[in-house]
Amino acid sequence: MSWLGWVIFVVALLFSVMLHETGHFVTAKKFGMKVTQYFVGFGTTLWSTTRGETEYGIKVLPFGGFVKITGMTSMDEVDPVDEPRSFRQHPAWQRLIVLFAGSFMHFVLALVLLFLVAGGIGLETNHNTASNLGINSCVPANAKAYADNVCTASDRPSPAKAAGLKAGDTIVSFDGKAVSTWTGLGDVIRATPAGKSVPVVIERGGQRQTLHVTLAKVKGVSGSLLGVDEATTFDRYNPIRAVTYAGSTFGEVLTGSVKVIGQLPSAIPHLFAKNRASTSAGQVTSVVGAGEITGDVVSANVGWQVKVDYVLLIMASLNIFVGAFNLLPLLPLDGGHIAVVIYERIRSWFARLRRRPDPGLVDMTKLVPLSMGVFAILVFFGLILILADLVNPVHIT
């Protein structure tokens, strides 16, 4: 099923890219700017069509996208006929809206996904009860398989399954001791040695019956194994609570994203460490790592609601991170262009105070070396992260 996770991730990523570019496209059109191209991807054109004055298309490398707006900077050559509709000739507030629109769409998408998690799918809630239990199908071969909840054909049935327990059963007593909570059940299981056969009274369909269970041992895991899961439900929030959840979670993820961005330089030395997951490098990943995590979630032995929740949360987090990262005041990111426009307005304001002519647009030719340097650094970071995710991935448990 991991391939399905990858398909879901790639489709969601392309949709996110299209939404980002649509933000630029729609706002530029709204303000009367001339938009000549709207493309998803880079490199050789796979397909395109022209509608009106805009060419729409898909390119071979699905690593982003772009919208080409006439006269984005002072360097661009523009036909005199099109100059009034160029980006650079529009008021600063309109240019800022167009530049911010890409990240804004990422943020809106993230909020919608978080709302769907809380209000549509529901949030997983544990009720600390010995009722409505889930049943594990096997005795995992080792601690890793136990943590990942992975079973193979050679694994023997779990004690609960072998004894005849079924999903939805309620355990009333274990080895003669009454239990009513998940915590209490766990205590008596841990106090019972593996290999011992004990009576377990269950309630099923309003009727009680006694089963005999022989507990098992998983290599590398302390305590005995019965093979049951805690009862969980998915509580759907009402619209107001769902909005509150989306807003608070958005704020938490945004704060975390800013922290992760700040940790990027210090994370590099740990990307290839054996304990990567427990270092700052375990908090950063590339599109390859995000795709792998999505694949792990989709292929995990859990219910569909858990999978959908996790995938939506991954996509929401990714969009928040990308939106925040794109606003960094560094060229060639949108945040760099925003910084240039703000600088132009501040410089113009000071010129008016000094009763001097408006200096006009920033000479972008002077910023090309800086822009190229930042671009090279971003490519370097990206390639290093991809390499680390290929040879030293961080898997969810």
124 is a catalytic site residue: no
Domains and CATH numbers, the chain: 91-123+236-397 (no CATH), 134-230 (2.30.42.10)
* pLDDT value for 271: 83
Q: Do 291 and 10 meet the contact criterion of CB atoms below 8 Å apart? A: yes
* pLDDT value for 379: 86
* pLDDT value for 397: 52
pTM score, two decimals? 0.80
- Catalytic annotation, pick one of 21, 77, 203, 230: 21
pLDDT by 10-residue block (mean), the chain, 397 residues: 81 91 97 95 92 93 87 91 95 97 97 96 80 83 81 88 89 90 87 90 91 90 85 85 96 91 81 79 82 83 82 94 93 94 95 92 90 89 86 71
* pLDDT value for 186: 86
* pLDDT value for 237: 92
Q: Do 123 and 309 meet the contact criterion of CB atoms below 8 Å apart? A: yes
